[in-house]
Amino acid sequence: MSDDNPPPTLAVDSPATECPVVQETESGQKLLQFLQRRLNLPQAMLHRWVRTGQVRINGGRCKPFSRVQAGDTVRLPPFAIRMSAQCDSALPEPVREARSDKDPASAPPLPPLVGTSGYLWAFDKPAGLPTHPGTGHEDSLTTRLAQHFSEASFMPTPVHRLDRETSGILLVAASYAALDEAQRALRGQHMVKEYVAWITGRWPHEETCLVRHFLRKDSVRGFEKMCAVSADAPEGKEALCLVRPIQVEDGASLVQIRLLTGRTHQIRAQLSNLGYPVLGDAKYGTGRPGTALYLHALRMVLPESQAFTSLPAWTGQRALRSLPEPIDCGATLASPSAPQCGVFPLGDDGATISLLH
């Protein structure tokens, strides 16, 4: 493993034992989660074992939602290990194959490691590498992690996802506690997520703007797509971001985006709805499949203010050679009135409305 990647120093405890010991990386999980990760058996079966006393923590009876702590000994039924070996169909085949590979040296390399914070790792994911395996692609960050850390008691897990063709900062948790804490921070909007993108056309605003839509997943010509809907539309979810221009040209503009909500394809859908799709976007713009998508996760700032950053690997006239300053959200950010969507330039007197539909 190269110096750019984290060493596989996670605590190891063989899962093939009737009395596994809870490792530090597994601490804090509900018992059912612990059993599912260790055994990969149906939840109903595990629930029944716990309810009938066949599973115990430190020799005592327990409940399915009891929390396990580092050092706890969990007693399993004598047939659990054999059943686990015979029942791994719940895992995607690429992950299952990756976990069976005990030689990390034969695995594809992990992306460069940008930084760490305890059991939280920040990788610089390249464009073209999916976060998870799926139809038509077996290679992914998840399967590579499974191969590199096949002996770890808790397999490092992506905290969030980036689209396959989106590059940049992606967080991975190497312990359950780190995963839970980071996902809570994301849901509570306590992390800063900034992107840069080249968009089609000349962005018409010189100042930072608030962009607001309501998005809903719909079927368009047989494909799922995030579409802008009215504020009162069923299942519509508010999408907010701040956009600041970095370089504006007649044919294309480089903008910096700070997400205020985390919706699927949010940046691509919102910018496209305004008439400024991301360059190379075949789903929401006019790009052709296989062309480079000029969208990059530039910066993530943890609640304790530690920041992870990376510049995109764009070259030529699209290159970004220096890190732009963070977008200041401010404590007095004015919200647009309830039913309106569009672009709201931020001024001294609050947000002023400028619809760009």
CB 39 within 8 A of CB 80: yes
User: What is the C-alpha separation between 98 and 161, in angstroms, rounded?
Assistant: 20
> Which among 323, 311, 201 has a CA at the least distance from the CA of 254?
201
Is 250 a known active-site residue?
no
Residue 174: count of CB within 10 angstroms of its CB:
24
| Catalytic member of 163, 218, 328, 348 | 163
Question: Angle 9-300-215 (CA atoms, 0-180°, nearest 5)?
Answer: 120
Q: What is the DSSP string of 85-99?
A: HH--TTS-HHHHHHH
In the chain, at which residue ranges do the beta strands (DSSP E only) sit?
A: 56-57, 74-75, 113-117, 120-125, 157-158, 167-173, 192-200, 209-220, 223-229, 237-248, 252-259, 295-301, 307-309, 342-347, 350-351
* Catalytic residue numbers, as ranges: 163
